[in-house]
Amino acid sequence: MRGRELRGELDAFLAETEQDLVAFRRDLHMYPELGFAEYRTTQRITERLTAAGLVPAVLPRGTGIICDVGSGDGPTVALRADIDALPLQDEKDAPYRSTVPGACHACGHDVHTTILLGTSLFLAQQAAAGLLPGRVRLIFQPAEELPGGALEVMAQGGISGVDRIFGLHCDPRLDVGQVGLKPGPITSACDRLLIRVSGPGGHTARPHLTADLVFALAKILTELPAALSRRIDPRSSLSLVWGRVEAGSAANAIPDDGIAEGTVRCLDENAWHVAPDLIKSLLESVAGAYGVEAEMEYTRGVPPVVNDEMSVEMLAEAAQRALGAGSVAPTQQSLGGEDFAWYLESIPGAFARLGTRSPGGRTYDIHQGTFDVDEGAIAMGVRLMAATALTALWESRPVTVTDPITTLA
Ligand SMILES: [Zn+2]
Ligand SMILES: [Zn+2]
């Protein structure tokens, strides 16, 4: 399909469906569900996909959906939306505010879900008209916030046979109609670290006859971050920051155990991969010097989302075709985490930021009980996702002189 035609078809589709999509989003917003408990949400999406003639497959745990549109031997492009809410109180004063105490769509996943639903309905129409040059896999992913839903999708074969994957996230600092794009890393890694130290304990009068555990723990607290900064490329911005320390109960007794907990954040994928082993060896050498035993529990969060350059170009081209020239804005790597990163460790793809701020309006932040979006972003998201899928499908095919790719507007 030519770019000009695509834009016209999206206009016609959205003129008919935009209000319905907004209502769908408000319904999800009123009934938010936390990770791996998105049963009602899954049901609502399934009903709509089925009504459009698609065949959704619910993941074995009962939440989340994988659904293919189109068939044949062409390439396969996946579009992913996350469907879970956050354990936060909704503090908005809107008619569609959450009806579930302690649960709120404060990360905009209701908007992502609605955008993917709208895109699914549009692509189903395209497929029925014989205009889909390949297969689009729709991934309605559960439990992004836990995180772990991406790993569940992958364990169920959700991206096997997929050539390229795309996703987006609401960005309340960008105006509606803008798309934030960046090749390379766009989010960060964040892991948790728990260290336990133990020793014989004893009287503070005789530290030389035991192991001075509090002193050793203090050394670990200061030495580990310092040593890391000299062992890892400073450009990776790896930071270990402690959030909790605990040891001892009396002024004159050396305790026999203590703990420290903190987070490891990192902008760079390579540094993220080597961090646990490096921290472990540094810990052992510091603890060994003071005669205490140390063990470490390192809990992986998510790696950084590292956008593939060609996929970012496809998003940019799609944004220009479907949202207009000037819709693409540069964006920065954030220190937040996003489990879309797991997909990009296996296949190429890219993650976009979708503007949700009303021009001249209030700037919200995600993960806050007051978060809301300008719902005009839903139609923009549908335009972007549909155009991206079609662009990626066309560009994944061998180009011939008569291929419609050569006539894209
Ligand atoms: Zn979030
Ligand atoms: Zn999110």
Cα separation, 68 vs 75, in Å, equals: 12
Distance, CA 247 to ligand 1 centroid (Å)? 33
Q: What is the pLDDT at residue 335?
A: 82
Q: What is the pLDDT at residue 396?
A: 80
175, pLDDT greater than 90? yes
Distance, CA 171 to ligand 2 centroid (Å)? 10
350, pLDDT greater than 70? yes
Distance, CA 213 to ligand 1 centroid (Å)? 38
Distance, CA 107 to ligand 1 centroid (Å)? 5
Which residues hold their Cβ within 5 A of ligand 2, which is an ion? Answer: 107
Summarize the chain as % helix, strand, coil (round to 5).
40, 25, 40
45, pLDDT greater than 90? yes
Q: What is the pLDDT at residue 395?
A: 87
Q: At residue 165, what are phi and psi to the nearest 5 degrees?
A: -130, 145
405, pLDDT greater than 60? no
Q: What is the pLDDT at residue 397?
A: 67
Region of 134 on the Ramachandran plot (φ > 0 left; ψ -120 to 50 alpha; else beta): left
Distance, CA 342 to ligand 2 centroid (Å)? 14
Distance, CA 338 to ligand 2 centroid (Å)? 7
Q: What is the pLDDT at residue 71?
A: 82
Distance, CA 145 to ligand 1 centroid (Å)? 6
Distance, CA 144 to ligand 2 centroid (Å)? 7
408, pLDDT greater than 50? no
Distance, CA 404 to ligand 2 centroid (Å)? 36
Per-residue pLDDT tens over the stretch 120-142: 999 999 999 999 999 999 999 99
Distance, CA 322 to ligand 2 centroid (Å)? 24
320, pLDDT greater than 80? yes
Distance, CA 52 to ligand 1 centroid (Å)? 30
Nearest ligand for residue 145 CA: 1
Q: What is the pLDDT at residue 407?
A: 39
Q: Report the percent of the chain where pLDDT is more than 70.
A: 96
Q: Report the percent of the chain where pLDDT is more than 90.
A: 87
Question: Among 115, 104, 68, 79, which Cα is nearest to 354's?
Answer: 115
Distance, CA 386 to ligand 2 centroid (Å)? 20
Distance, CA 185 to ligand 2 centroid (Å)? 16
Is omega for the bond preceding 56 within 30 degrees of 0, making it cis?
no
Overall average pLDDT of the 293-299 stretch: 96
Nearest ligand for residue 168 CA: 2
Q: How confident is the model at residue 402 (pLDDT cuts 50, 70, 90)?
A: very low
The one-letter amino acid code at 158 reads G
28, pLDDT greater than 70? yes
Distance, CA 138 to ligand 1 centroid (Å)? 20
Distance, CA 7 to ligand 2 centroid (Å)? 28
Overall average pLDDT of the 156-168 stretch: 97
Distance, CA 156 to ligand 2 centroid (Å)? 22
Q: pTM for the whole thing?
A: 0.85
404, pLDDT greater than 60? no
Distance, CA 62 to ligand 1 centroid (Å)? 22
Which class for 365: exposed (0-12), middle (13-18), buried (19 or more C-beta within 10 A)? exposed
Distance, CA 32 to ligand 2 centroid (Å)? 13
Q: How confident is the model at residue 3 (pLDDT cuts 50, 70, 90)?
A: low
What residues form DSSP beta bridges with 85? none
Which residues hold their Cβ within 5 A of ligand 1, which is an ion? Answer: 107
Cα separation, 237 vs 266, in Å, equals: 6
Please list, residue by residue across 172-205, b when 16 or more beta carbons sit within 10 angstroms of its beta carbon and e when fewer do.
Answer: bbbbbbbbbbbeebbbbbbbebebebbbeebeee
Q: What is the pLDDT at residue 190?
A: 86
Per-residue pLDDT tens over the stretch 228-264: 999 999 888 899 999 999 999 999 999 999 999 999 9
Q: Give the torsion sign (CA, 48, 49, 53, 56).
A: negative
Distance, CA 83 to ligand 2 centroid (Å)? 9
Per-residue pLDDT tens over the stretch 11-22: 999 999 999 999
Per-residue pLDDT tens over the stretch 73-112: 789 999 999 999 999 999 999 999 999 999 999 999 999 9
207, pLDDT greater than 50? yes
398, pLDDT greater than 90? no
Q: What is the pLDDT at residue 6?
A: 92
Overall average pLDDT of the 65-72 stretch: 92
Nearest ligand for residue 169 CA: 2
Q: Which range has the worst mean pLDDT, 76-80, 117-121, 298-302? A: 298-302
Nearest ligand for residue 368 CA: 1
